[in-house]
């Protein structure tokens, strides 16, 4: 894989900050959930890239790290338990990264998972690559009554062992200094072969590891995974998240963003445009009532969708950081197994309520092809993204709150139905569940903020910009009469079958670009509640946006993407029309 590294090195060499180029690579290894990412983000700057090895689905981060006068490429290997006989992609990738002979390894030894960490460390040391051990979470040792003689480990294994607290950045400079000195040295660690590994682990543990009799039971958070009170708590957490996302987003929109945009910014934009241009056509395109580019092109992405993006990712990042999601996965595992899925499928599904693209990518961590495909299909069909939800709330809930709740109930029902159908198509059972529940942790505000702001920036770049461009197109085509012509062409479908105004054909075209546009362009048309409900139903099941289709094609195959595209479109138009026709019958 030298070519892979080569391209990366070249890319960084071109960057302004790394004039000196990249001198080599350092690998960061350890068990899952031991603070590797925290160390990684302390060691590298903002110039971080997500990469994956060709043919695998596991992503890892890499970024430049400064050691003394030189820059090294720090690669964050996926967290694993075992290097030998790799059983999944994460282990294969980590083993491969180590086989590429990095210049050094930073091994994160978890103070709380001492034995398993040590077992993995021995496997790493067998490769005789210069290694520095960061004994992480050393701050939690004393409260847990744990004492580790890191000097003894250092003497026995002949490797530098340094206590650290990655979440606070404590003593990480010491690790860097040790790394700098270790690189280039010839090392031969005193470690036994595979057969004696657990023996040495147990011996070292009995010599270097002390734990006082516990003051409190270790499973003090066990109640979260018991049917009682775990299930009511899970429901309460989800309800709380749901109401926070909606409430906070609404508040932000109503009291902060709308007053700013409508009361201040748009007034100035309108005055400026009136003063600068005389052409009515141009004025209509820029500040027209319906699709004025400078008005709707700003209001929709930034005042309508952005507030929900912020509130959703704040809630989701908090749940992730606290470590609640794996507990939710355990509670739901039994139910998901009924349709051949693992409980961990809940994580990509929840992510889908933010954006479908990270959700489809997150299916990579699921254990089988069937599960990946099932969950991705569920997300494409019936999980509205946060932008769509924002529009549902702003437009549908504003007209009728019951209609909004019914739409959400339908989406959940659809998830169940899709799960059952896909399980009938492919009867493959889910593999047995076996994973560790990470410790529940208080969120660290700084890291939390970093995560949230990263996701908001991502939305601004990949979500808001295409939306602004799409609105620009609509503004121009509307003014030129192209949309009206399209509407007449699609009239049998749009007004005949769906009972929507002819112009609504626009929404079906734009919905392909971005999911929320299906509904948002209907805003100026003054629809009745029945029409809004029909449109919402269509919008819910309608085509996943172009970017999601592209992601499906990349992650699965073009065929899969096309099949999902056709099925979602047909389902959306069929169900929407069915409702419209039934409503017409009842009201007639």
- How many residues lie near another protein (CB under 8 A)? 40
Question: CB 293: neighbour CB atoms within 10 A?
Answer: 21
Smallest separation (angstroms) from another protein to the CB of 202: 9
Residue 126 binds another protein (CB under 8 A):
no
Cα separation of 104 and 130, whole Å? 5
Q: Determine, following the binding rule CB under 8 A, whether residue 338 of this chain makes contact with another protein.
A: yes
Binding another protein (rule: CB under 8 A), the pick from 337, 364, 450, 458 is 337
Q: What is the DSSP letter of 9?
A: H
Shortest separation between residue 420's beta carbon and another protein, angstroms: 15
* Residue 208 touching another protein (CB under 8 A): no
Given candidates 99, 101, 219, 462, which one binds another protein under the rule CB under 8 A?
219
Nearer to another protein, 234 or 467 (CB): 234
Q: How far is the CB of 334 from another protein (least distance, A)?
A: 3
Does position 231 interact with another protein (CB under 8 A)? The reply is yes
350-373 as b/e, with b when 16 or more CB fall inside 10 Å?
bbbbbbbbebbbbbbbbbbebbbb
Residue 4 or 226: which CB sits closer to another protein? 226
Pairing of strands 209-211, 146-148: antiparallel
Distance CA 68, CA 177 (A): 8
Contact status, residue 244 vs residue 315, Cβ threshold 8 Å = yes
Nearer to another protein, 10 or 338 (CB): 338
Do 329 and 393 meet the contact criterion of CB atoms below 8 Å apart?
Answer: no
How many angstroms separate the CA atoms of 130 and 575, rounded? 62
Find residue 105's DSSP bridge partners.
27, 131
Smaller CB separation from another protein, 221 or 283: 221
Burial of 395 (C-beta count, 10 Å sphere; 0-12/13-18/19+): buried
CB-CB contact of 159 with 132 (8 Å): yes
The yes or no reply on residue 290 touching another protein (CB under 8 A) is: no
Q: Does 58 bind another protein (CB under 8 A)?
A: no
Residue in the structure block whose two tokens are 């520095």: 132
* From 275, 425, 434, 588, residue interacting with another protein (rule: CB under 8 A): 434
* Strand bridging mode 59-67 / 146-148: unpaired
| From 65, 74, 109, 120, residue interacting with another protein (rule: CB under 8 A) | 120
Q: Is 332 in the site for another protein (CB under 8 A)?
A: yes
Q: Examine residue 85 and tell whether it contacts another protein (CB under 8 A).
A: yes
Judged by CB under 8 A, which of 96, 144, 364, 450 binds another protein? 144
Q: Any contact of residue 119 with another protein (CB under 8 A)?
A: yes
Binding site for another protein (CB under 8 A): 81-82, 84-85, 87, 112-113, 115-116, 119-120, 144, 198, 214, 217-219, 221-222, 225-227, 230-231, 326, 330-335, 337-338, 343, 432-437
């Amino acid at each position: 894989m030298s070519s892979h590294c080569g391209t990366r090195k070249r890319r960084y060499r071109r960057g302004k900050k790394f004039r000196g180029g990249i001198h080599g690579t350092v690998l960061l290894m350890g068990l899952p959930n031991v603070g590797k990412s925290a160390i990684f983000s302390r060691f590298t700057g903002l110039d971080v890239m997500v990469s994956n090895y060709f043919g695998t689905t596991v992503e890892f981060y890499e970024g430049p790290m400064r050691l003394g006068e030189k820059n090294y490429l720090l690669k964050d290997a996926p967290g694993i338990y075992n290097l030998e006989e790799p059983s999944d992609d994460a282990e294969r990738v980590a083993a491969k990264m180590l086989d590429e002979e990095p210049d050094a390894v930073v091994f994160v030894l978890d103070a709380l998972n001492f034995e398993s960490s040590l077992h993995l460390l021995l496997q790493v040391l067998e490769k005789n690559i210069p290694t520095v051990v960061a004994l992480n979470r050393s701050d939690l040792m004393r409260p847990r009554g744990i004492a580790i003689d890191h000097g003894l480990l250092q003497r026995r294994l002949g490797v530098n062992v340094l206590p650290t607290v990655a979440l606070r950045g404590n003593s990480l400079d010491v690790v860097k200094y040790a790394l700098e000195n270790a690189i280039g040295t010839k090392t031969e660690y005193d470690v036994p072969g595979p057969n004696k590994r657990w023996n040495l682990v147990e011996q070292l543990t009995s010599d270097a590891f002390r734990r006082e009799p516990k003051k409190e039971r270790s499973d003090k958070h066990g109640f979260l995974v018991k049917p009682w009170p775990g299930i009511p708590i899970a429901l309460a957490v989800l309800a709380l998240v749901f109401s926070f996302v909606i409430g906070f987003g609404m508040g932000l929109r109503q009291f902060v963003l709308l007053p700013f945009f409508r009361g201040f910014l748009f007034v100035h934009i309108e005055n400026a445009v009136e003063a600068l241009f005389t052409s009515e056509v141009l004025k209509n395109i820029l500040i027209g009532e319906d699709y004025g580019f400078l008005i709707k092109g700003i209001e929709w992405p930034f005042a309508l969708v952005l507030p929900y993006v912020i509130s959703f990712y704040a809630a989701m990042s908090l749940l992730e950081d606290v470590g609640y999601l794996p507990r939710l996965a355990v509670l739901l595992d039994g139910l998901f197994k009924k349709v051949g899925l693992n409980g961990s499928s809940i994580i990509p599904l929840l992510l889908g309520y933010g954006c479908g693209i990270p959700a489809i990518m997150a299916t990579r961590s699921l254990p089988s092809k069937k599960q990946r495909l099932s969950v991705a299909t569920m997300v494409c069909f019936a999980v509205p993204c946060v932008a769509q939800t924002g529009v549902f709330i702003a437009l549908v809930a504003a007209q009728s709150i019951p209609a909004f709740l019914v739409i959400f109930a339908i989406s959940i029902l659809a998830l169940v139905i899709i799960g059952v159908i896909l399980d009938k198509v492919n009867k493959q059972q889910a593999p047995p569940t076996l994973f560790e529940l990470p410790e529940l942790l208080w969120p660290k505000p700084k890291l939390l903020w970093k995560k949230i702001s990263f996701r908001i920036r991502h939305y601004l770049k990949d979500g808001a910009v295409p939306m602004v461009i799409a609105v620009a197109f609509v503004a121009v085509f509307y003014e030129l009469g192209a949309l009206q012509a399209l509407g007449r062409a699609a009239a049998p479908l749009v007004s005949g079958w769906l009972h929507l105004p002819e112009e609504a054909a626009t929404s079906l075209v734009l919905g392909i670009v971005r999911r929320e546009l299906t509904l948002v362009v209907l805003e100026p048309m003054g629809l009745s509640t029945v029409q809004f409900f029909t449109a919402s139903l269509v919008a819910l099941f309608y085509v996943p946006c172009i970017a999601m289709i592209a992601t499906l094609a990349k992650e699965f195959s073009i065929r899969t993407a096309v099949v999902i595209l056709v099925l979602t479109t047909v389902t959306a138009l069929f169900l929407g029309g069915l409702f419209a026709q039934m409503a017409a019958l009842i009201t007639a």
